[in-house]
Structure 1
Amino acid sequence: MKKFLFDCGTRDGTASLGLFVLRVGTGLMMMLGHGLPKLHAYGKLKDGWPTANIWPLSHLSSQISLICTLAAEIGAAALLVLGLMTRPAAFLFGFAMVVAAFQIGANAPWFIGPGVSEAKEPALLYLLPAVVLILSGAGGWSFDAALYREGKRKRW
């Protein structure tokens, strides 16, 4: 279980730097640009927040759906910034982006362009780093790397 939650993937310096920039940039942009504004407007948003049209998400109330969105956009994004439980956090973050793109924005066009302000594109652009982090892990510059160390080192 510890390996599942805290395995950081590669410890290569250059790759770890790239993953660090990806994690911190994506997490902060989501938290500051989407999560915190929703949290500050919680009172206005809680009754009219959309719910997904798939089971079991279709049984959630508007308030619970908003809380789940905030958990992904603030909680999971904060874990990505720290590099803590990165793969599960990236899965939750990516799942929220799939729901946003293909359920909430199901009828929206794919791309933002002239005269189009709402589209699937932003959610899909946030989904890409989530997939990368699920596959690669947080890298060596993370709390995951500090918490999980392989028991035996390879000796050449």
Structure 2
Amino acid sequence: MVSGINQLFNRMSDHPDLGKLLLRLTFGGLLLFHGEFKVVHGVGWIAHMLAAKGLPGFIAYGAYIGEIVAPAMVIVGLMTRPAAFVMAINMLVATLLVKMGALWHRTDVGAWSLETEVLYLLGALAIMFLGAGKYTLVRDARLQ
């Protein structure tokens, strides 16, 4: 009986392209909120942090690419793998720049203080490795 239920559930839920779409919409959509914040408030505060670490301030403008352009590309399925890679690099740089001092810390509720950043990083890498799937606005020539 358990085996039958498992087989039925597997047949009903075996939709890898739908799973890929859900990942793309989730991680791309949520990262766009971070990009929208930077559009409204600018990236000057990031440039100051970069300067404090001896890096050129113009690198801060990369946040627009990593948090607006790349997530939008991931959402529509345009060059999904490279765009997801850009999102992953963006999260790695943001974590190194803002949160490295919190590597071993936990929040008040016991969560790892870097869990959100790591979730975005690994989500972007998962999208990069999985690809867009068949539900995209821009079809990959290999899938046609």
Q: Which TM class, normalised by the smaller chain length?
A: 0.7 to 0.9
- Percent of aligned positions that are identical: 29
1:53–1:115 distance in 2 versus 1, CA, 3 Å = farther
Deviation at 1:112, TM superposition (A): 4.9
**Which residue of the other structure, out of 56, 67, 76, is the alignment partner of 2:61?**
67
Alignment size in residue pairs: 129
1:97 aligned onto 2:102: no
The letter for the 1-side match of 2:64 is L
Runs of 5+ consecutive residues of structure 2 not aligned to the other structure: 1-13
Partner of 2:40: 40
TM-score (norm 1): 0.70
Partner of 2:23: 22
Runs of 5+ consecutive residues of structure 1 not aligned to the other structure: 1-12, 152-156
CA distance in 2, matches of 1:150, 1:124: 31
CA distance in 2, matches of 1:18, 1:133: 10
1:52–1:24 distance in 2 versus 1, CA, 3 Å = farther
Give the structure, 1 or 2, with the largest relative contact order (CA under 8 Å, sep 6 or more): 1
Q: What SS does the aligned partner of 1:51 have?
A: helix
Partner of 1:149: 142
Aligned residues of 1:46 and 1:66 also touching (Cα < 8 A):
yes
Partner of 1:108: 102
Runs of 4+ in 1 over 6 A off after TM superposition: none
TM-score (norm 2): 0.76
Structure with the larger helix share:
2
